[in-house]
Amino acid sequence: MIDPELPHSDKTNRISDKGTCSLGRRLSRLRDPYHLVLTLTWPQFFGGLLLIYALVNLLFGGIYWLLPGSVTNTHAGAFLDCFFFSIETLATVGYGVMAPADVAGHVVASIEILSGMVGFALTTGLIFARFSKPTARIVFSRLAVIRDFDNQHALMLRMANERQNRIVEATAKLWLVRRELNAEGESYVRLYDLPLLHERTPVFSLTWTIIHPIDDRSPLRGLDTARLVADGARIVVSVTGHDETMAASVYAGSEYDANDLVFGGRFVDVLSTTPSGVVVVDMAHFQDIERPTEQAGD
């Protein structure tokens, strides 16, 4: 199946080695804060949280400091007293030493208490959302191979479930994405389905090698590395399934450019069985490939 996409220009849509990036997007990441927070790493998340916490207390501490006499038992002109009073007020702990002393102090403290309640509620929700977000720990081979399989060429790549739990009803999809010219000379990005020998597996717990036979109907028929590079071709793979542990659907995906294809290569076997009958995956050699002496195209 061929799925034509919108025309693209090198000035507005650049195909990178491992994905795409667009210039001139109207939607900034800062205008979608919830999605931004969910995509941050944990160090980035807690670093940003600490920064916001410090800025909020600096803001309210500065307001108290600019209102002399608004807080009792503070030293004259002592900004640190106002800053630490802001921390106590934001967290609604109140040690009883410092307290609002006039109407202005009570108003600012009331606003800060409300801000703290809302802020802690939002932070709790965001942390829960990040912990509860279903993710798949699926590792893909860095390279794909094109080799003879069952008396014909085949594109092969493999993946492993790092959690070693059960992903049931797993489904894999494979596509070829490349640039083409239409009759009018316009550059298009076209998407080709690459049918798999087996696109579903009832249980994905260890490793899984997906295979696309390069037969007469395959879009990869007759293509070599040079032609794929010239077309800006990429192989895109996606896997979906149901994680039994989390009781939720999970997704994982990866991409391969033309230089990631090893013609004539063969994946090193990583499965072995112990004397007690336990199947073991040797992840230390998961990325290893036996390369041919001389690589040749199809």
Expressed as residue numbers, the domain containing 168 is 138-290
- Please check whether residues 71 and 214 belong to one and the same domain: no
Same structural domain, 113 and 145: no
Measured CA to CA, the distance from residue 238 to residue 253 in angstroms comes to 4
Question: Are 123 and 160 within one domain?
Answer: no
pTM score over 0.75: no
Query: Residues 278, 154: one domain?
Result: yes
Per-residue pLDDT at 194:
93
Tell which of 94, 114, 132 closes a domain.
132
**Together in a domain, 73 and 206:** no
- Indicate whether 119 and 156 sit together in one domain: no
Domain containing residue 90: CATH number:
1.10.287.70
Q: Would you call 57 exposed, middle or buried from its count of C-beta atoms within 10 A (0-12, 13-18, 19+)?
A: buried
pLDDT of residue 27: 55
| 90 and 35, same domain (yes or no) | yes
168 falls within a domain: yes
Same domain for 82 and 36, yes or no, is yes
| Domain assignment present for 298 | no
What is d(CA 238, CA 177) in angstroms, rounded to the nearest whole number?
13
Encode burial over 7-22: b for 16+ CB neighbours within 10 A, e otherwise: ebeeeebebeeeeeee
Given 80, 104, 132, which residue is the final one in a domain?
A: 132
- CATH number, domain containing residue 246: 2.60.40.1400
Q: Beta-carbon neighbour count of residue 189 at 10 Å?
A: 19
Q: How confident is the model over 11-25, as pLDDT tens digits?
A: 333 333 444 555 555
Specify whether 181 is located in the same domain as 127.
Answer: no
Residues 161 and 125 in one domain: no
Residue 10's pLDDT band, with cuts at 50, 70 and 90, is very low
66 in a domain, yes or no? yes
- Say whether pLDDT at 66 is over 70: yes
Total domain count for the chain? 2
Residues 167 and 262 in one domain: yes
> Of 107, 132, 157, which residue sits at a domain end?
132
pLDDT tens track for 198-254: 999 999 988 999 999 999 888 988 888 888 888 888 999 999 999 888 888 999 999
In a domain, 5, yes or no: no
Check whether residue 167 and residue 253 sit in a common domain: yes
pLDDT in tens, 278-287: 888 888 899 9
